[in-house]
């Protein structure tokens, strides 16, 4: 079984999709997929699907959804009972004491692949190999097909899962941009960073990266304008001042501090890039 969480929900058994069209069975499958190869309690499934107001027949209804999902899996198996699935769909969507488990049978989970590539990228960055880090981070980000679980009507548990995945994506995006900045790709980054800063106007890390890219592209005044705009927005929206790291970056921009100049990549973090 192959599972995709990084975009529309994708769950394929033997190459055939088993994602139902109905919203509530899709929620059940999504939560099982997010916690693939782990027991998901009946209580968790009920909380996700019905929140704090489950119907009286909730246990029976949940069992009905499980039967529907097993029907989809049986259809994908097309009547076959492989040696590793002696009970057919019941060997894939397993009933356990207190809940259910979705057995991937060693299949691919895109979020796990994303995490693996992210770790490789982090190791390359710490070793000072920004070329490899940038390439590996790009490979990780290419696994995304859209916002996490974008076609699922997420309840409280799935909302948390989707939010965590999106935060991971944004973190790795920032690391990939950091690697590219260290490699002197500031001109190529300007358009991408401008778009990201418009999308995330209060994200200090992205704003700082745009300021550094602008400075290195010979646009110090524009970089300082970005700082002033962010300071105004933070004050108006959150009643906050820019972080000490961002204020230090502004000082460096004003003084044309040599620390902002592009230096050959070397092991260890670059001061202003990793401080924010």
Domain boundary residue among 102, 133, 159? 102
Is residue 215 assigned to a domain? yes
106-135 pLDDT, tens digit each? 999 999 999 999 999 999 999 999 999 999
Is residue 139 assigned to a domain? no
Q: What is the mean pLDDT of residues 139-167?
A: 97
Domain boundary residue among 102, 132, 153? 102
Q: Residue 263 sits in a domain of what CATH number?
A: 1.25.40.10
269 or 193, which is more confident? 193
Is residue 127 assigned to a domain? no
Look over the chain and give the mean of its residue pLDDT values, rounded to a whole number: 93
Is residue 72 assigned to a domain? yes
**What residues make up the domain containing 72?**
2-102
Is residue 145 assigned to a domain? no
Per DSSP, the residues of 194-262 read: HHHHHHSTT-HHHHHHHHHHHHHTT-HHHHHHHHHHHHHHHHHHHS-PPPHHHHHHHHHHHTT-GGGS-
Domain boundary residue among 102, 137, 155? 102
Q: What is the pLDDT of residue 86?
A: 77
5-30 pLDDT, tens digit each? 999 999 999 899 999 999 999 999 99
3-state secondary structure 53-91: CCCCCHHHHHHHHHHHHHHHHHHHHCCCCCCCCCCCHHH
Is residue 240 assigned to a domain? yes
The single residue listed with the structure tokens 């994303």 is 114
Q: What is the pLDDT of residue 265?
A: 59
- Identify whether residues 6 and 98 lie together within a single domain: yes
Instruction: Report how many domains make up the chain.
Output: 2
Q: What is the pLDDT of residue 48?
A: 97
16-17, strands of its sheet edge to edge = 2-4, 10-13, 16-17
Q: Does position 274 have pLDDT exceeding 80, yes or no?
A: no
Is residue 39 assigned to a domain? yes
48-74 pLDDT, tens digit each? 999 988 999 999 999 999 999 999 999
Q: Residue 92 sits in a domain of what CATH number?
A: 1.10.10.10
Q: What is the pLDDT of residue 245?
A: 96
Q: Does position 271 have pLDDT exceeding 70, yes or no?
A: no
Q: What is the mean pLDDT of residues 209-234?
A: 97
Nearest-angstrom CA–CA distance, 191 and 112: 30
Please give the torsion angle defined by the CA atoms of residues 44, 46, 48 and 51, in that order, rounded to the nearest 10 degrees. Answer: -120
Is residue 138 assigned to a domain? no
Put simply, whether the predicted model's pTM sits higher than 0.85 gets the answer yes
């Amino acid at each position: 079984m192959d599972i995709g969480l990084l975009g529309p929900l994708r769950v394929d058994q033997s190459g055939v999709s088993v994602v139902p069209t109905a919203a509530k069975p899709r929620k059940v499958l999504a939560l099982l997929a997010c916690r693939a190869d782990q027991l998901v309690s009946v209580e968790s499934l009920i909380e996700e699907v019905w929140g704090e107001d489950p119907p009286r027949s909730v246990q029976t209804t949940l069992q009905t959804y499980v039967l529907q999902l097993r029907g989809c899996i049986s259809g994908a198996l097309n009547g076959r009972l492989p040696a590793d699935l002696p009970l057919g769909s019941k060997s894939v969507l397993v009933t356990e004491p207190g809940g259910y488990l979705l057995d991937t049978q060693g299949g691919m989970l895109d979020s796990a692949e994303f995490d693996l590539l992210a770790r490789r990228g982090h190791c390359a960055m710490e070793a000072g190999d920004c070329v490899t880090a940038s390439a590996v981070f790009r490979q990780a980000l290419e696994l995304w097909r859209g916002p996490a679980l974008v076609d699922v009507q997420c309840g409280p548990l799935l909302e948390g899962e989707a939010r965590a995945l999106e935060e991971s994506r944004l973190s790795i995006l920032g690391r990939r941009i950091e690697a590219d900045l260290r490699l002197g790709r500031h001109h190529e980054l300007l358009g991408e960073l401008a778009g990201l800063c418009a999308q995330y106007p209060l994200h200090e890390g992205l704003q700082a990266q745009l300021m550094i890219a602008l400075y290195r592209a010979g646009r110090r005044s524009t970089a300082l304008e970005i700082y002033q705009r962010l300071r105004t927005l933070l004050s108006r929206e959150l009643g906050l001042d820019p972080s000490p790291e961002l204020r230090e970056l502004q000082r460096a921009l004003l003084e044309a501090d040599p620390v902002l100049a592009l230096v050959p990549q070397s092991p260890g973090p670059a001061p202003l890039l990793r401080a924010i």
